[in-house]
A and B are shown apart, each in its own frame.
Chain A
Amino acid sequence: MSGIRLRDVTKHYRVLKRREGLSGSIRDLVSRDYKTVKAVDGISLSIEQGELVGFIGPNGAGKSTTIKMLSGVLEPTSGTIEVDGFVPYRQRRRYVQRIGIVFGQRTQLWWDLAVIESFKLLKEVYGIDDAAYERNLGIFDEIAGLKELRGIPVRNLSLGQRMLCDIAASFIHDPGTIFLDEPTIGLDVEIRAKVRKIIKELNRLKGATVLLSSHDVGDIESLARRIVLIDKGKILYDGPTEKFNGIFGRYRTLRLDVHGLSEEGIARLKEKTAERAGADKGIVFGEVAGGWLGLSFDQDRIPLLELLTPILAAFEIKDIKVEEIAMEEVIRRVYEGALR
Chain B
Amino acid sequence: MRLRSYRAIVRNEIQASLAYRGHFLFHLAGTAIYLVIASFLWKAVFASSGAEAIGGVGFERAYLYVGIAMSLAGLIQTNVDYSLNRLVMSGDIFRHLCRPQDFMGQLFAESIGDGIVNCAAIGMPALVLSYALSGTSPPDLVNVLLFVPAVAMAFFLNFLIDFLTGLAVFPFHSIRGVTNAKDAAILVLSGALVPLPFYPAGIRSVLEWLPFQALYNAPARILADGGAGISEALPFLARQAAWAIILFVLARVLFAAGLRKLVVNGG
Contact residue among B20, B93, B100, B263 (Cβ-Cβ distance under 8 Å from A125): B100
Check: B99 CB closer than 8 A to any chain A CB.
Answer: yes
Q: Check B267–A74 contact: CB distance below 8 A.
A: no
Complex interface: chain B residues within 8 A of A74 (CB): 262-264
Give the 7 A-B residue pairs with the shortest CB-CB distance, closest first.
A124-B8, A105-B267, A97-B100, A112-B16, A112-B19, A125-B5, A124-B5
Counting chain A CB atoms within 10 Å of each CB, which of B5, B92, B98, B262 scores highest? B98
Complex interface: chain B residues within 8 A of A97 (CB): 100
Complex interface: chain B residues within 8 A of A294 (CB): none
Q: Check B100–A64 contact: CB distance below 8 A.
A: no
* Whole-angstrom CA separation of A121 from B9 in the bound complex: 7
Complex interface: chain B residues within 8 A of A123 (CB): 8
Contact residue among A64, A101, A111, A125 (Cβ-Cβ distance under 8 Å from B101): A125
Check: B12 CB closer than 8 A to any chain A CB.
Answer: yes
Query: Given A68-B264, A110-B16, A112-B19: A120 and B98 within 8 A (CB)?
Result: no
* Whole-angstrom CA separation of A34 from B102 in the bound complex: 33
Q: Check B12–A117 contact: CB distance below 8 A.
A: yes
Q: List 23 A-B contacts (CB under 8 A).
A: A64-B267, A68-B94, A71-B94, A71-B98, A73-B93, A93-B102, A96-B100, A97-B100, A99-B98, A101-B98, A106-B92, A106-B94, A106-B95, A110-B16, A113-B15, A118-B12, A121-B9, A121-B12, A123-B8, A125-B5, A125-B9, A127-B2, A127-B4
Check: A75 CB closer than 8 A to any chain B CB.
Answer: yes
Check: A72 CB closer than 8 A to any chain B CB.
Answer: yes
Complex interface: chain A residues within 8 A of B263 (CB): 13, 74
Complex interface: chain A residues within 8 A of B229 (CB): none
Chain B residues numbered 2-25 whose CB sits less than 8 Å from any CB in chain A: 2, 4-5, 7-9, 11-12, 15-16, 19-20
* Whole-angstrom CA separation of A181 from B92 in the bound complex: 14
Complex interface: chain A residues within 8 A of B15 (CB): 112-113, 117
Contact residue among B16, B92, B99 (Cβ-Cβ distance under 8 Å from A113): B16
Check: B230 CB closer than 8 A to any chain A CB.
Answer: no
Complex interface: chain A residues within 8 A of B262 (CB): 73-74
* Whole-angstrom CA separation of A106 from B97 in the bound complex: 14
* Whole-angstrom CA separation of A104 from B267 in the bound complex: 8
* Whole-angstrom CA separation of A181 from B91 in the bound complex: 14
Categorize the interface residue count of chain A. 35 or more
Check: A126 CB closer than 8 A to any chain B CB.
Answer: yes
Check: B266 CB closer than 8 A to any chain A CB.
Answer: yes
Q: Check A96–B99 contact: CB distance below 8 A.
A: yes
Besides A74-B262, A101-B94, A121-B8, 7 other A-B contacts (C-beta < 8 A): A68-B94, A104-B267, A105-B266, A111-B16, A113-B12, A124-B7, A125-B9
* Whole-angstrom CA separation of A125 from B95 in the bound complex: 12
Complex interface: chain A residues within 8 A of B16 (CB): 110-113
Contact residue among B91, B93, B98, B102 (Cβ-Cβ distance under 8 Å from A72): B98
| Chain B proximity of A13: nearest CB distance (Å) | 6
Chain A residues numbered 167-197 whose CB sits less than 8 Å from any CB in chain B: 181-182
Complex interface: chain A residues within 8 A of B100 (CB): 93-94, 96-97, 125-126
Q: Check B94–A73 contact: CB distance below 8 A.
A: yes
Check: A161 CB closer than 8 A to any chain B CB.
Answer: no
Q: Check B4–A124 contact: CB distance below 8 A.
A: yes
Check: A17 CB closer than 8 A to any chain B CB.
Answer: no
Q: Check B98–A108 contact: CB distance below 8 A.
A: yes
Complex interface: chain B residues within 8 A of A71 (CB): 94, 97-98
| Chain B proximity of A57: nearest CB distance (Å) | 14
Q: Check A181–B98 contact: CB distance below 8 A.
A: no
Counting chain A CB atoms within 10 Å of each CB, which of B2, B12, B93, B262 scores highest? B12
* Whole-angstrom CA separation of A108 from B16 in the bound complex: 15
Complex interface: chain A residues within 8 A of B12 (CB): 110, 113, 117-118, 121
Nearest A residue to B267, CB-CB: A105
Complex interface: chain B residues within 8 A of A333 (CB): none
Q: Check A73–B264 contact: CB distance below 8 A.
A: yes
